[in-house]
Amino acid sequence: MSHRIEKIEHLIKEEISLIFLNKMQDPALSLLTITNVKVSPDLKLCKIYLSVFDKDKRELVLQKIKTSTGYLRSELAQRIRIRYIPELKFFIDDTADYVEKIENLIKKIHDDDRQRES
């Protein structure tokens, strides 16, 4: 991947985070983290991965963000100077859930081994 794309990804991540923090006044968006940003090589598409602390509100938060995509893109256009602002697509990052599931499985196996040894 090119150094330029990495810089743009970092810049978008930083600026979108600031927009959420300073411009979006919705309390549902307060416990939100941008975990990753991936920009396509042609700079036409930007995938933004979000971690939402409250698992029960993930779909609601994602829906609210998707309805604000146009606003987010125009705010981003005012903040960064690149020729073309990519289309923004938002996704829930469930990596933490996956890690938690694996840890629970390992713990269960470990506990089962202990019981067998007793």
Give the residue numbers spanning the domain of 68: 3-117
| pTM attached to this predicted model | 0.80
Count the domains in the chain: 1
Longest dimension (CA), the chain: 67
Give per-residue pLDDT as tens, 53-92. 888 888 888 999 999 999 999 999 999 988 889 999 999 9
Question: What pLDDT score was predicted for residue 112?
Answer: 79
- Here the CATH number for the domain that contains residue 88 is 3.30.300.20
- Give the highest mean pLDDT range of 21-25, 37-41, 59-63: 37-41
Contacts of 59-64 with CB under 8 Å at 24 or more apart are: 60/28, 61/28, 61/29, 61/32, 62/90, 62/91, 62/92, 64/26, 64/28, 64/29
